[in-house]
Amino acid sequence: MLNPNTIRTICRAALTEDVGSGDVTTLSVVPPTLEVRGVLTTRESCVCAGLPVAEAVFRELDSSCHWEPQAEEGESCGPGRILGHVTGRARAVLTGERTALNFLQRLSGIATLTRQYVDAVGRHAVKILDTRKTTPGLRVLEKYAVTKGGGENHRFGLYDRVMIKDNHRLMASLEGPGGIRRAVKAARDVCPDLDVEVEADTLDDVEEALAAKADIILLDNMTDDEMRAAVEMAAGSCLLEASGNITLERVPDVAATGVDFISVGALTHSPPAIDIGLELKL
């Protein structure tokens, strides 16, 4: 998922935003030939994600810097765990410090929260999915972090799966009853090679989506009892995804209903950042 060219483009944009015309403090205070070693350490428990991005930040500023990861992507790390070393010109390390940490803290936060949701599933064969509720421009990084936490990616964008949501159903219903069936047929006509997913608010919607032979049905904001009923109605004929109001505490009960997937927007739109620091050694 982490194409080097994509990482480089994202890191350059982030550095342009932060550095602008120059890191005036570092340029004023730090000798140009001084070399240092930076030690990246987590100050709290986390699932590590984003080390290749941190490396790319420093290499963008000093191509000769030496990077040594000390943890694996997706590894559970306790407080005080050294995640990586960077050795190079002090100006580059200081200038890139905040940008590298911002990426690492954000992505490790996503991976850590995802792991909590994955663990909450327990013995049930349910997969935790992310959503499109990502930071604009950072989707590929944030969805990568989800996978490092043990989750799986839902569609990457509007182009790789047909997803007929409530507003699409509203448009389809303007022609009268049977809007879901018409929408699914139209989608198959236009995009025959893509899966078609239908968002269902009620069990009547589920029944119509099943009749239309949708590949996946998203059970939106349904109760546990409604989801169990939907599982019985589908009887394995299509995949079922639970979504909406999915808290960490609720995951075990939702997983027990028999759905195939649980999608959680919170994985990427509201994970707490992990406290990670960088200490310089001369």
Tokens encoding 53: 């991005």
What is the C-alpha radius of gyration for the chain, rounded to an integer number of angstroms? Answer: 23
Which among 59, 68, 52 is positioned nearest to 96, based on CA atoms? 59
The catalytically annotated residue of 8, 98, 139, 161 is: 98
Residue (of 219, 162, 202) closest to 186 by Cα position:
162
Quick check: is 127 catalytic?
A: no
100's tokens: 């590298």
Q: Which of 165, 204, 224, 279 is catalytic?
A: 165
Q: Are 32 and 89 in contact (CB under 8 A)?
A: yes
Beta bridge partners of 203: none
Q: Are 275 and 44 in contact (CB under 8 A)?
A: yes
220 is catalytic: yes
φ/ψ (deg, to 5) at 54: -60, -45
User: Is 199 annotated in the active site?
Assistant: yes
- Alpha-carbon distance of 262 to 257, in angstroms, equals 11
Q: Does the annotation mark 23 as catalytic?
A: no
The CA distance from 267 to 244, in Å, is: 13
Active-site annotation holder among 23, 220, 241, 260: 220
Report the C-alpha gap between 42 and 39 in whole angstroms: 10
The residue type at 222 = M
The active-site residue out of 60, 73, 199, 260 is 199
- Identified catalytic residue from 8, 132, 133, 228: 133
* Spatial strand order in the sheet of 35-42: 66-69, 82-89, 35-42, 276-281
The answer to whether 18 and 103 have CB atoms below 8 angstroms apart is no
Which residues carry out catalysis? Answer: 98, 133, 165, 199, 220
